[in-house]
């Protein structure tokens, strides 16, 4: 069966993208966010949505049959109105390299005290920054061994770290010496010098790393989070940092987000915060377009789509 005459909402204006869409789906009509702003009723006629911000529109796009996001995390699909919606939701898996490298950037800042060196440079002060260390021989625990977590494991192994993993499903992971189920999370954390949190933000993962889990870590361990801020109990995180139970944290995501200016996490000791941009890299937009266009070809040809998200699980 061939699907034609689709109304496709593209969340950005891009003539080249529109031309590719029209080549793959002849007879389709493409619209942009500007068109949506000018025509309030357009959303009622849309069959396909693509781009940033579609999570805010899908529930109201009653006719939509497919929604392609440009993010990896899609925890929002667990909302009841999205679960009930007949549209298929697909995401992209293009952020492995940039997020993994970003996390190791945060880790090196913490373990080599590069933040203190930058502050000293700004003050024109030549002085040592205190105790520093190396990664070789330390144990990394990757919580969430999807594609991004697997890349973190690979980089950790390249640094000479011992790598353990925690994941929902059983099975080996390349570069990971042992994989623990979620039911053995505390056992894995008890061996961690560094925790990589790559968990999606779902109902099941909310505050999975709470006071009990942070207390299970060896004193002075480091936490890195580029999954979702909601996977960590922020109050427990602040307390663990203040007490020294956590030796430091590198956070690209927080809860709440954006982090309010008066939030205590800003001033907690040994914290490096970046405003949720670990997934940014030149070329990402084109890679996301390629996923969308391949899925559009499949959608038109009535073939199975790639990267279909599970609305019940939230990823």
Q: Is the pLDDT reported for residue 288 higher than 80?
A: yes
**Predicted pLDDT of residue 4:** 63
Confirm if 164 and 191 have CB atoms less than 8 A apart. Answer: yes
| Average confidence score pLDDT of the chain | 96
What is the average per-residue pLDDT within 155-177? Answer: 95
Task: Output the pTM of the full model.
Answer: 0.93
User: What are the two backbone dihedrals, phi and then psi, of residue 104, each rounded to the nearest 5 degrees?
Assistant: -70, -30
Going through 81-134 in order, the beta strands assigned E by DSSP cover 88-90
Percent of the chain with pLDDT over 70: 99
What angle in degrees, to the nearest 10, is found between the helix axes of 147-158 and 96-112?
40
Per-residue pLDDT tens over the stretch 58-82 = 999 999 999 999 999 999 999 999 9
* Domain residue ranges in the chain: 7-94+282-300, 96-273
Tokens representing 13 are 């204006």
Task: Match domain 7-94+282-300 to its CATH number in 1.20.1250.20, 3.40.630.30, 3.40.50.720, 1.20.272.10.
Answer: 3.40.50.720
Asked if 252 contacts 277 with a C-beta cutoff of 8 angstroms, the reply is: yes
pLDDT in tens, 221-270: 999 999 999 999 999 999 999 999 999 999 999 999 999 999 999 999 99
**What letter does residue 209 receive in the DSSP assignment?**
B
28 contacts: CB under 8 Å, gap ≥ 6: 4, 5, 6, 7, 8, 21, 22
Q: Do residues 209 and 235 touch, judged by C-beta distance below 8 A?
A: no
- Examine the pLDDT at 1 and tell me if it is beyond 50: no
pLDDT bucket at 40, cuts 50 / 70 / 90: confident
Q: What CA–CA distance (Å, rounded) separates 152 from 143?
A: 10
What class has domain 96-273?
alpha beta
Residue owning tokens 């979620």: 182
The tokens for 266 are: 């800003």
Please give the Cα distance from 170 to 277 (Å, whole number).
30
In angstroms, the CA 120 to CA 74 distance is 40
β-partners of residue 90 are 68, 308
Q: Do domains 7-94+282-300 and 96-273 have the same CATH topology?
A: yes
C-alpha 309/C-alpha 314 separation (Å) is 7
pLDDT greater than 80 at residue 2: no
Query: Which residues form the catalytic set?
Result: 228, 257, 276
């Amino acid at each position: 069966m061939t699907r034609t005459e689709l109304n496709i909402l593209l969340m950005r204006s891009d003539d080249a993208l529109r031309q590719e869409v029209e080549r793959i789906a002849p007879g389709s009509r493409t619209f942009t966010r500007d068109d949506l702003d000018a025509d309030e009723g357009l959303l009622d006629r849309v069959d396909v949505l693509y781009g940033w911000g579609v999570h805010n529109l899908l529930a109201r796009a009653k006719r939509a049959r497919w929604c392609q996001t440009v993010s990896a995390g899609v925890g929002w699909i667990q909302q009841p109105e999205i679960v009930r919606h007949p549209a298929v939701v697909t995401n992209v898996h293009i952020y492995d390299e940039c997020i993994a490298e970003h996390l190791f950037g945060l880790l090196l800042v913490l373990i080599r005290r590069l933040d203190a060196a930058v502050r000293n440079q700004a003050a024109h002060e030549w002085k040592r920054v205190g105790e520093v260390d190396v990664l070789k021989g330390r144990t990394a625990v990757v919580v969430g061994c999807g594609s991004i977590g697997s890349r973190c494991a690979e980089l950790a192994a390249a640094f000479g770290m011992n790598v353990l993993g925690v994941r929902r499903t059983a099975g080996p992971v390349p570069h990971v010496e042992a994989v623990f189920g979620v039911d053995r999370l505390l056992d894995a954390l008890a061996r961690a010098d560094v925790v990589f949190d790559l968990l999606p933000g779902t109902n099941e993962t909310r505050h999975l790393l709470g006071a009990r889990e942070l207390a299970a870590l060896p004193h002075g361990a480091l936490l890195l989070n580029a999954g979702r801020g909601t996977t960590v109990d922020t109050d427990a995180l602040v307390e663990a940092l203040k007490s020294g139970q956590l030796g430091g944290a590198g956070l690209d995501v927080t809860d709440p987000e954006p982090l309010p200016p008066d939030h205590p996490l800003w001033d907690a000791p040994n914290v490096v915060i970046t405003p949720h941009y670990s997934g940014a890299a030149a070329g990402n937009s084109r890679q996301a377009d390629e996923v969308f266009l391949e899925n559009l070809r499949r959608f038109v040809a009535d073939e199975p789509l790639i990267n279909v998200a599970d609305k019940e699980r939230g990823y």
